[in-house]
Structure 1
Amino acid sequence: MTPTEFASRLCLRPFSDENESDYGRFGPATPLKRAAVLIPVINRESGLHILLTQRANHLRNHPGQISFPGGKHDEVDDTLTDTAIRESEEEIGLNTRKIQPLGWLPELHTVSHFTMSPLVALVDGNQTFVANEDEVSDIFEVPLAYLMARKHQFYLTPEWQGKPSKIHFIRFENKLIWGATAAILQKLIRHIE
C-alpha cells in the first residue's frame, strides 16, 4: 500500500460509530483529562511502517509499555493537534515540518482516566529520531503489513470493576504491544481494510 492509497482510505471511508465497549470506559463517570498521540506512518522501501516508542522504565505511569509519541494536553497547546505534535517533538525529536496530518481516529478512554485522541499522520522517514531518555527508552517501527495480519493479534476479556473489558495485544519480535496502543492499532487496521 502506498502513502497515497493509505491516505485515500482514511479520507474516503467514514469513521465508524463503534460500540464504546470495544475500548471500555474505565473509572468514575467524571470528566477525563485530555491527551493526544501521533500515529506516525512512514514510507519505507519495504512498505508503510508505524513508528512506536517504548516508555522509559523509570516513569511513574505505564513504565516500559509500548506507546505512540504523545501525551497530556497542556495550556500551551491551542489544539489537540498541537499537543500530539509538540509531544512527538519532545519525545522522539520529530521534525515538525516533515509531517502531513491525515485525520483523527475515534477517541479512546483509558484506565488512567484520559480521553486520548489519536492523530494519524504521514511522517518523512528521512530524519533522525532521537529518544528523549527522560520519557522514551526505545523507538522502533512495525510494518503495516505485519499489523494487518490477524495472526499477530489477540485479546483477553478480564473483569474490571465488575464488567468485562477487552484488552488488545499484538506480538512483534521481542515486544508485546497491548492496551490502548494495541486497541488504537486495531482500530486503524479495521479502518483501512
Structure 2
Amino acid sequence: MDPRPAFERATVQAARLVAEVRPGQYEDPTPCTEFDVRRLVSHLIGATRRFAVLGEGGDALAVEPFADELGDQAFAAGYEDARQSALKAWQDDARLDDEVTVPWGRVPGRAAVAGYVMETVAHSWDLWDALGRPGTLDPELAAIALGTARQVLPEGPRGPQAPFADVTPVPEGSGPYGELAAWLGREPVDVRNRG
C-alpha cells in the first residue's frame, strides 16, 4: 500500500485544525500531557519539517522537532509550508523503497510515511480534543493510523523509554479516534472534562 495519499489527507486535516486555534487557546492542555496547544502545534510543524528533510534524502534527526522560532500568528502558514515541502519531497515513488533513518529506527520509506501518518493523525486528535472538538475528523484516517500503531507498538507494558504510555481502556462508543487515542496511551475523553 502507498501511504502517501493518507499522509496528504492527514496533513489537510491537521492544517484545518492549526488554522482554527485562537490566541486564547495556546496555553490550554492537550491529551498529549507534556504539550499545551502551543507546544503541540510547534511539534506538528517540526515533525513535518523532519519528514520533508527525510524525503529529500537528508538527516531528519538533525532537524529540530519543534518550530519554536515561529510566533503564534505564523503557525498556520508554517504548518502549510512544512506540509507542502513534505508532499513534494515524497513524490518520487522510489523513496518508498529506500531505507531511511527516523526517530524510531531504520526502516523502508513506506514505513516512515506510515509512521508519520500515525503521528499526524494522533496529534490532530490531540489538537481537536484540546480545541473543544470542533467539526468532525476523518474516521478512515484513524483506522489507518490505528493499523500502523498496532503493528509497531506493543499492547503490553511499554516502559519509560517508549514515546507512548501504556494502552488505556476504550470507553464504549469512542469510535476509531478513541481507539487510536487509547492505543497510544491517551484517555479518549474530552480533555476539558478530566477534572
TM-score normalized with structure 2 length = 0.28
Q: Which structure features the higher share of strand residues?
A: 1
Structure with greater helix percent: 2
TM-score, normalised on structure 1? 0.28
The structure, 1 or 2, with the larger RCO (C-alpha pairs under 8 Å, 6+ apart) is 1
